[in-house]
């Protein structure tokens, strides 16, 4: 049990003992960290009980404080401030915690849960390369997966490849008309980039054809339907769904180019998946669900043969599930995927990492599955996140204004190289070590910056700001870790020390203010990790790691380790920084960020 939880339970037990007839409940007790301007470590809010017990805040606070000091063994002092009870934790609790935990390297929950969770993220289209807009999705999905694992959940990391549909046919038809048989090898272009170029080409030609039809007297909506390249793409989709051999062969070839490109990008991003789903498979399951829904009377057909569901009674509208020509829409395949995932793993929860632009889509998906009676509906959770923009504004794939993920990664590594070389901190590194360091700093900066903001919020990514050594960045935290490693090397203490070195140390040492503050913050890591898992929010971990690194820097600027007042104090501080480094490595590791030992 965390210290905050112990304080909460102690306060509740004290209230029950002092006022046995009062209708109190554990949920009524709020415990916060004491504000820096006041004396104390944890604060109990008294206001919920003042009216219930008909007592003045100071009177209640004094009775509660005296009882806790006399009975709990956890506190050394208390103070009443305007309806708040500030409690000071005994130094011995902190030193005992440190002695028992400083050598830990794994802070994951040891008791594993039977809860089975699938996290679906990335979900790229095979008509273009991964772009910068995908990165927040990918890093969120990967980080949430690792945080849930650390919280004891059984996690399956899944990737749904959008490998069929009209958007894929657009890049295919443009390649057929304009590529002259070009391949990644012949063009010297990474496969996903080559296919993406023809998706942009489709849009350019489509715009020109629409303009020409409008000039010839056709209205805009009709021109959009009659443009030859769009009609050709639609015909290609019909051929694909009919199983046309030539169409399927080209589709396999072009998708193969894209997959090879994705594999290279995923490796550099440092992410992997346990299960791959392909919409070219799942849409068939979706069609079966639609058929079942028709038989149950939940869905209906219109005169043109298209299949719909009426959700007006639920405050929504009618939703198309199958076109009149029998081809699927996104919702069709999403229904099939949801059922397939559940059937494969009997999931307790299915987490969709999808931008907030799709909030309505996921709401409708879940509602349709419920109405049809599919058990997978109950476990669907939408991890909705705000879109990322660059200082130059929004990005659009079809117009070729996106920044490719590969280019952004290269830019971040180059920024890392420039910054390290300018600071003159390359001495003593081999060329191989420097390459590893540049990539570690650059990719760490990129991941941390995209994860440090609450997922629900939109954000603007500034590459130079993300790698600032003095800012709210991974670089700042990595440098604090490297600084700790340097201290330990000088003191001949390993990152994973032999506890025998500290056997003579005892837990009776009085603590200075910053020493105690740092140990209490270390003790909170388990609670932070549990909250990040419960809220699917890696930003909580980012904030904690940054604050711990800040506190270490403050501590080290004030208190010497090598010239500590006594051997006992030196050992205390060495254990403190060993523990700090281990927590930072674990927390940042869950975010997919490596921690260098030298910078």
On whether residue 397 sits in a domain, the answer given is: no
- Same-domain check for residues 503 and 435: yes
CA distances from 564 to 150, 491, 556, 561 (A): 36, 12, 11, 5
The number of CA neighbours under 13 Å toward the Cβ of 198 is: 31
Looking at the structure, tell me whether residues 378 and 491 fall in a common domain. Answer: no
d(CA 159, CA 418): 35
Buried residues in 205-229 as b, exposed as e (16+ CB within 10 A): bbeebbeebeeeebeeeebeeebeb
Do the domain assignments include residue 492? yes
DSSP 344-390: HH--SEEEEEEEGGGHHHHHHHHHHHHHHT-GGGGGEEEEEE--EEB
Residues of the domain holding 136 = 121-389
Residues 453 and 385 in one domain: no
Domain shared by 330 and 210, yes or no: yes
Together in a domain, 440 and 341? no
- Choosing from 354, 389, 424, the residue where a domain stops is 389
Cα-Cα end-to-end distance for the chain: 37
Say what the pLDDT of residue 264 is. Answer: 96
pLDDT band at 473 (very low <50, low <70, confident <90, very high): very high
Q: What is the pLDDT of residues 435-444, one digit of tens each?
A: 999 999 999 9
CA-wise closest residue to 354 among 452, 268, 455: 455
For residue 400, pLDDT over 70 is answered with: no
Task: Report the chain's mean pLDDT, rounded to a whole number.
Answer: 93
Confidence of residue 458 (pLDDT cuts 50, 70, 90): very high
pLDDT tens-digit series, residues 520-561: 999 999 999 999 999 999 999 999 999 999 999 999 999 999
Q: Tell me, what's the pLDDT at 426?
A: 84
56 and 158 share a domain? no
Give me the pLDDT at residue 270, please.
96
Question: How many residues make up the chain in this entry?
Answer: 599
Question: In the numeric block, which tokens belong to residue 82?
Answer: 């305007």
User: Does 397 score more than 60 pLDDT?
Assistant: no
Range name among 20-24, 216-220, 272-276 with the lowest pLDDT average:
20-24
Whether residue 373 sits in one domain with residue 279: yes
- Position 389 confidence tier, pLDDT thresholds 50, 70, 90: confident
Q: Which residue has the higher pLDDT, 338 or 507?
A: 338
Residue 448 is encoded by which pair of tokens? 């941390």
pLDDT of the residue at 339 = 94
Question: With pLDDT > 70 as the criterion, what percentage of the chain qualifies?
Answer: 97
Whether pLDDT at 276 is above 50: yes
Backbone angles phi, psi at 159, to 5 degrees: -130, 120
- The pLDDT > 90 percentage for the chain reads 83
Query: What pLDDT, on the 0 to 100 scale, is given for residue 401?
Result: 55
The residues, ordered by sequence, that sit 6+ positions from 106 with a Cβ below 8 Å of its Cβ are 586
Q: Which residues contact 425 (CB under 8 A, 6 or more apart)?
A: 599
Last residue of a domain, one of 42, 67, 89: 89
Residue with tokens 């930003």: 539
CATH code of residue 366:
3.40.50.620
371 and 449 assigned to the same domain: no
Mean pLDDT of 255-279: 96
User: CA nearest 507: which of 7, 97, 77, 2?
Assistant: 97
Asked whether residue 398 is domain-assigned, the answer is no
Q: Is the pLDDT of residue 395 over 60?
A: no
Asked if the structure places residue 104 within a domain, the reply is no
Measured in degrees and rounded to the nearest 5, phi and psi for residue 352 equal: -105, 115
**pLDDT-derived band at 246, boundaries 50, 70, 90:** very high
- Helix pair 57-71, 3-18: axis angle to 10 deg: 110
Residue 599 falls inside a structural domain:
no
Binned at pLDDT 50, 70 and 90, residue 504 comes out as low
**Domain shared by 247 and 324, yes or no:** yes
The reported pLDDT for the residue numbered 456 is 93
Confidence at residue 263, expressed as pLDDT on a 0 to 100 scale: 97
Is 116 inside any structural domain? no
pLDDT at 136: 95
Q: Predicted confidence band at 432 (pLDDT cuts at 50, 70, 90)?
A: very high
- Please compute Rg for the chain using Cα positions: 29
Q: Is the pLDDT of residue 143 over 50?
A: yes
Does 370 have pLDDT greater than 80?
yes
> How does pLDDT run across 87-116, given as a tens digit for each residue?
999 999 999 999 999 999 999 998 889 999
CB contact at 8 A, 527 and 4: yes
Provide mean pLDDT across the span 562-582: 93
Residue 398 has pLDDT above 70, yes or no: no
253 with 382, same domain: the answer is yes
Does a structural domain hold residue 134?
A: yes
- Is position 233 within any domain? yes
Tokens of 155: 């996690």
> The domain spanning residue 476 has which CATH number?
1.10.730.10
CATH number of the domain that residue 75 is part of:
3.30.1360.70
* Residue 385 reports pLDDT greater than 60: yes
**363 and 457 belong to one structural domain:** no
pLDDT score of 50 more than 90: no
- Measuring CA to CA, how many Å separate 563 from each of 159, 254, 498, 556, 559? 53, 65, 22, 12, 9
Mapping DSSP to helix (H, G, I), strand (E, B) and coil, where does residue 453 land? coil
Contact between 127 and 236 under an 8 Å Cβ cutoff? The reply is no
Are 240 and 179 in the same domain?
Answer: yes
Identify the pLDDT of residue 503.
Answer: 66
Q: How many domains does the chain have?
A: 3
Domain end, chosen from 389, 413, 442, is at: 389
């Amino acid at each position: 049990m965390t210290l905050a939880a112990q304080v909460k339970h102690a306060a509740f037990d004290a209230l029950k003992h002092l006022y046995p007839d009062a209708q109190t409940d554990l949920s009524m007790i709020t415990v916060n960290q004491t504000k820096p301007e006041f004396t104390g470590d944890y604060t109990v809010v008294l206001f919920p009980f003042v009216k219930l017990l008909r007592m003045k805040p100071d009177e209640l606070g004094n009775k509660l404080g005296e009882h806790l000091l006399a009975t709990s063994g956890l506190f050394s002092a208390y103070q009443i401030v305007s309806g708040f009870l500030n409690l000071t934790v005994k130094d011995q609790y902190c030193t005992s915690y440190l002695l028992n935990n400083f050598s830990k390297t794994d802070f994951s929950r040891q008791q594993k849960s039977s809860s089975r969770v699938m996290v679906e993220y990335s979900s790229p289209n095979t008509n273009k390369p991964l772009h910068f807009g995908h990165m927040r999705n990918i890093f969120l999905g990967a980080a949430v997966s690792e945080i849930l694992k650390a919280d004891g959940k059984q996690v399956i990391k899944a990737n749904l490849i959008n490998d069929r549909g009209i958007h894929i046919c657009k890049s295919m038809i443009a390649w057929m008309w304009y590529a002259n048989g070009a391949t990644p090898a012949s063009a010297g272009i990474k496969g996903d980039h080559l296919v993406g170029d023809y998706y942009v080409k489709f849009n350019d030609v489509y715009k020109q054809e629409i303009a020409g039809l409008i000039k010839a007297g056709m209205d805009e909506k009709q021109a959009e339907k009659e443009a030859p390249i769009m009609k050709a793409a639609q015909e290609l989709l019909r051929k694909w769904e009919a199983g046309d051999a030539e169409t399927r062969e080209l589709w396999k070839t072009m998708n193969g180019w894209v997959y090879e490109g994705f594999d290279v990008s995923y490796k550099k991003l440092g992410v992997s998946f346990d299960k791959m789903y392909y919409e070219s498979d799942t849409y068939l399951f979706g069609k079966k669900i639609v058929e079942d829904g028709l038989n149950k009377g939940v869905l209906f057909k219109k005169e043109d043969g298209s299949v719909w569901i009426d959700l007006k009674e639920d405050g929504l509208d009618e939703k198309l599930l199958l076109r009149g020509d029998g081809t699927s829409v996104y919702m069709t395949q999403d229904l099939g995927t949801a059922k397939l995932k559940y059937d494969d793993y009997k999931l307790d929860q299915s987490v969709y990492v999808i931008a907030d632009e799709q909030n309505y889509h996921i709401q409708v998906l879940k509602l349709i599955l419920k109405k049809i009676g599919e058990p997978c509906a109950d476990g669907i959770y939408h991890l909705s996140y705000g879109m990322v923009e660059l200082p130059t504004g929004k990005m659009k794939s079809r117009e070729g204004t996106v920044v490719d993920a590969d280019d952004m990664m290269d830019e971040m590594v180059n920024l890392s190289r420039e910054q390290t070389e300018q600071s003159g901190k390359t001495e003593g590194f081999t060329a191989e070590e420097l390459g590893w360091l540049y990539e570690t700093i650059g990719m760490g900066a990129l991941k941390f910056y995209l994860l440090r903001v609450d997922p629900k919020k939109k954000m603007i990514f500034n590459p130079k700001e993300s790698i600032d050594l003095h800012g709210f960045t991974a670089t700042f935290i990595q440098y604090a870790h490297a600084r700790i490693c340097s201290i330990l090397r000088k003191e001949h203490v390993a990152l994973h020390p032999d506890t025998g070195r500290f056997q003579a140390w005892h837990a009776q040492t009085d603590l200075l203010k910053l020493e105690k503050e740092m140990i209490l913050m270390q003790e909170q890591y388990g609670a932070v990790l549990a909250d990040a898992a419960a809220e699917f929010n890696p930003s909580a971990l980012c904030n904690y790691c940054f604050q711990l690194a800040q506190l270490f820097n403050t501590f080290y600027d004030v208190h010497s380790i090598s010239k500590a007042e006594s051997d006992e104090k030196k050992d205390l501080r060495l254990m403190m920084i060993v523990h700090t480094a281990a927590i930072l490595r674990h927390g940042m590791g869950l975010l997919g960020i490596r921690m260098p030992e030298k910078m």
